[in-house]
Chains A and B, each alone.
Chain A
Amino acid sequence: MIFLKRQLPLIITFVMGVAFAVQYYIPHPVSEEAITRVSKWMQIISGFALALGLTSLFHVHAVKVKRRVPGWGYSVILYLAMLATVVVGLFWSKGETRVDGAQTAFGWIYDYTMVPLQATMFSILAFFIASAAYRAFRARSREAGVLLVAAVIVMMGRVPLGQFLLPWSWDIAQWLLNVINSAVRRAILIGVSMGAVALSLKIILGYERAYLGGGSDQ
């Protein structure tokens, strides 16, 4: 049992990790075929894993309905919406959003409920950016003051009215973005890349095992 739970995953991780690190240096079609095949395995596993997700979803909401926790009605609506979408998709729409160019009932549900709801959530972002920017630009410290000045210059340099009022703002905004911003971003990316390589090596070599559960000391 310990072998199945601990050693086997470590062996698989080591073998696959080394194999696909080496694969990067092999241009042969066999190497390309191997990575394509493994990608398909991952898709298949993800398909099966969705059953796990659905089981969890049903369980969480079933408990809410059973215990009549506040807002349990929303869980009932979730069940009804899921059931309606599955039934309409399977029996009235052949699982397609369009058949012969005509929108199916399933397509109608997607286009007129899912898409507007997603767009609504995304559009809220504009207001959240405004409130977050207000909080960030309150010049409480020297660093926040520098941020405020830089942000004002970049904003002025990016809009026609700003460029009209402050003609020099475009050049300074470009310099801030291309030099200061890019330098810092690259520094972060170099650190991220080194960290990712180091963590990958730790996982491949079996030093980092916490993701298997039970901490790193097992």
Chain B
Amino acid sequence: MILISLLLIILLLLGAPALAVIPAPEGFLALDTPNDAGKSLSLVWKASPADRAGRSVQVWMATSPTTPFKKVAEFPSNTRYVKPGDFPWWAQPAAKGDHYVKLGSSQTFPIEDGIPYFVKLLVREGDQEVWSEVAEATPAPNLFNTAQINNLVFVVAFTGVLLASIAAARRNPHVHLRRIAGLDAVEEAIGRSTEMGRPILYLTGSGGMDEVSTIAATVILGEVAKKVAHYDTSLKVPHRDPIVMAVCQEIVKEAYVAAGRPDAYKEDANFFITSDQFSYTAAVDGIMLREKPAANFFMGSYFAESLLLTETGAGTGAIQIAGTDSDHQLPFFVTTCDYTLIGEELYAASAYLSREPVLVGTLRGQDFGKAFIMGVLVIGTLLATIGVGLHSDTFDYALDLFKDFK
């Protein structure tokens, strides 16, 4: 009798995991997905030590607690956790390590804003299953993405620094500017063209007026055109975008007026070739080879055509000045051009050439911004490294402030 009892106890102990009852999801909540455009719900529940691959979780939804529920999702119970970096600490719908599932509108179960939905979970393993309680939530679109509040704070702060720098530059206009060889060479290039009696070729890149680099290129064109008008040299600006062409026509015309040479302005200095990348390249290469400009300017954004243009220009012996923010094309420009404005130097060109205090002041503001970023990089790297060494997520609170959350 004693032996049988012992045997039963041993069997019970050995079979306990198989016979154990599946725990119901703890702390199950349904909520409107935060910081979204609506038509979605988020589900949150606590992680359990019993979560494993063989145990599945099904999500069932209905528009009323009395209507039949419909299965909308299924996944293993040891998935869909909140991972570090998913949400900032000030806008996280669930704690790190909890389960989080976002349900979007689908053909299986359309979700509309303003309508309450009822959700429950079914946890099952083999023949066993357990239902959670029913949770209710109403989806709605949000007016502000709180996960991006750090981004907004930095933009406002940077704007404040720029305005303060402009105000400081107005009070004290003698701001030192680092020498940019490429911009100093503009005068030399135009002078050389004048001496040789050859035209100057100016390209504004492949972007439209919605690109900052194209705007920078058109601004530099204004300064170049003033000098060209002063020296009475010929200027040729072939275009890929008709809108950029129209803007450049106005800029060049005004530059000639500002230089006191409106009579020297030629309407066809700016002309349209084609929007097609390689047709444009072939046409500009043809201009370089036939008319042999003494100076070529390549400002703005470029793609595969950059080397085709600059190598042809180098072959004609022209002095070449490039300026681009297309980092992937920089090696080609550096290799084939006499001077290259790298990245931000392109944007600084208008301030450098005009020396206007208001514009120069913004360069100082940019420098403050860069100093701040460098400080954050050093401190952030240190904190992240210490955090990994100590297996601690304490520093995540500081690091989250500098992350970009969508």
Interface, chain A (partner B; CB < 8 A) = 21, 24-29, 32, 42, 45-46, 49-54, 56-57, 59-60, 63, 70-71, 114, 117-118, 121-122, 124-125, 128-129, 131-133, 135-136, 185, 188-192, 194-203, 205, 207-208, 210-217
Contacts and interface: CB of A to CB of B under 8 A. Distances in A.
Nearest to A187: B343
A198 B365 contact: yes
Contacts of A117: 278-279, 282
Contacts, number: 202
Contacts of A32: 37
A189 B343 CA distance: 7
Contacts of A70: 290
B79 interface: no
B358 A207 contact: yes
Contacts of B36: 27
B210 A42 contact: yes
A118 B370 CA distance: 42
Interface residues on B, range: 35 or more
B242 A50 contact: yes
Most interface-central of A32, A51, A118 (chain B CB within 10 A): A118
A208 B350 CA distance: 9
Interface of B: 35-38, 141-145, 148, 151-152, 155, 158-159, 162-163, 166, 208, 210, 212-213, 215-216, 218-219, 222-223, 226, 239, 241-243, 245-247, 250-251, 253-255, 257-258, 268, 270-279, 281-282, 290, 304, 307-308, 311, 314, 325, 327, 330, 332, 334-336, 342-344, 346-348, 350, 354, 356, 358-359, 362-363, 365-366, 369-370, 373
- The 8 closest A-B CB pairs, nearest first, are A195-B344, A53-B242, A195-B347, A213-B254, A53-B272, A121-B278, A214-B254, A213-B250
A107 to B, nearest CB: 17
Given A27-B145, A132-B335, A198 B242 contact: no
Given A121-B278, A194-B373, A216-B350, A49 B343 contact: no
16 contacts: A27-B36, A28-B38, A53-B272, A56-B272, A57-B274, A60-B271, A71-B290, A121-B279, A131-B311, A135-B314, A192-B343, A194-B366, A196-B213, A198-B362, A210-B251, A212-B250
Q: Taking each of A26, A202, A203, which has the highest tally of chain B beta carbons within 10 Å of its own beta carbon?
A: A202
B347 A196 contact: yes
Nearest to B165: A198
Nearest to B154: A197
Task: Please indicate which of the listed interface residues A54, A70, A197, A213 has the most CB atoms of chain B within 10 Å of its own CB.
Answer: A213
Main secondary structure of the interface of A (DSSP, over half): helix
Given A117-B278, A121-B281, A194 B245 contact: no
Contacts of A49: 241-243, 246
